[in-house]
Every structure is written in C-alpha cells, then in structure tokens.
C-alpha cells in the first residue's frame, strides 16, 4: 500500500437500486518508517577494536555497519568522513592513510525508494602521534 492518506467508502444499494445517502467511511494514513543505521564495530589497522571517542596510533580504520529496514527494503549505505560529502559505500567501510587528529565517520542507510535514514550513525576517534601515544601510557602509569 502506498505511503500517505487513504479512505474507503462503502455504499449500500438495495434490491430496488436505492443508494444509501450516508456511506460508511474509514480513513487511515500509511507512514514511511525510516531505516535505522548502526555501526557494529570499528577496528584500527593494528586489529584493535576502538570505541567511539577513543584513540589509536593507526592511520587506518574499518567500520562494520548494519541497518534495520523501515517501510521499504534496504538498498545500501551513504558514508561521510570528517563532514565531507556523502557517497555510496558498502560494508565494511575502510579508510587508510588518515592524518593525525580527530576524525568523524557518519553512515546512513538508503532504502529501495531512495529514502535516507534521517539519523546517521556516527563514530568519532583520534589518531595520535607516537609522542602522544607514549604520553598517554606515561599518564596511565602515573595515575
């Protein structure tokens, strides 16, 4: 059934051809349920699992993503890195040769009608320099 408002009217007609002047009506609306996108894992280039907000020394990262279909079947994903333009992507999503500093990954499911998940799944992490990584270890030891 198509998304949007629908109404059905039922008109009674007797054997003499008289039409009921007040047909029974019923109205309802079919809503478009969006897909829901989830990042199921993030693994750096050293095979370490990362949590959103975490850090790594690796300039590479791989994301596994999944989505729950809404009203329509899933067709794929759109991804964006560091607020760049979105582009079609497949899971797993891998980025290599990233610069040190903070990064943000966003992914949205797209359904068969071209509808995009309105709430993208996001993941942020920081790539540390070797000196920053060493300082983090020193700070942990001194706690």
Q: List, in order of start, the domains of the chain with CATH numbers.
A: 36-141 (2.60.40.10)
Full-model pTM: 0.73
Write out the chain's pLDDT in tens, 143 residues. 566 677 888 888 888 888 888 888 887 665 555 688 999 999 999 999 999 999 999 999 999 999 988 878 899 999 999 999 999 999 999 999 999 999 999 999 999 888 899 999 999 999 998 777 677 777 777 87
Closest CA to 93 of 50, 118, 115, 60: 60
Contacts of 15 (CB under 8 A, 6+ apart): none
Contacts of 131 (CB under 8 A, 6+ apart): none
Q: What share of the chain is helix, strand, coil (3-state, %, to 5)?
A: 10, 50, 45
CA angle 107, 96, 83 (to 5 degrees): 40
Query: β-pairing, 55-56 with 101-111?
Result: unpaired
């Amino acid at each position: 059934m198509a998304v949007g408002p629908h109404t059905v009217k039922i008109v009674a007609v007797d054997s003499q051809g008289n039409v009921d002047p007040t047909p029974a009506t019923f109205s309802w609306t079919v809503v478009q349920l969006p897909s829901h996108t989830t990042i199921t894992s993030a693994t750096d280039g050293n095979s370490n699992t990362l949590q959103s907000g975490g850090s790594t020394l690796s300039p590479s990262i791989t994301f596994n993503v999944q989505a729950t279909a809404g009203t329509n079947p899933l067709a794929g994903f759109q991804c964006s890195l560091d607020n760049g333009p979105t582009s079609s992507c497949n899971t797993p999503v891998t980025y290599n040769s990233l610069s040190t500093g903070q990064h943000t990954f966003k992914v949205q499911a797209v359904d068969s009608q071209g509808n995009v998940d309105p709430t993208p799944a996001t993941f942020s992490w920081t790539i540390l320099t070797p000196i920053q990584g060493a300082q983090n270890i020193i700070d942990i030891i001194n706690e």
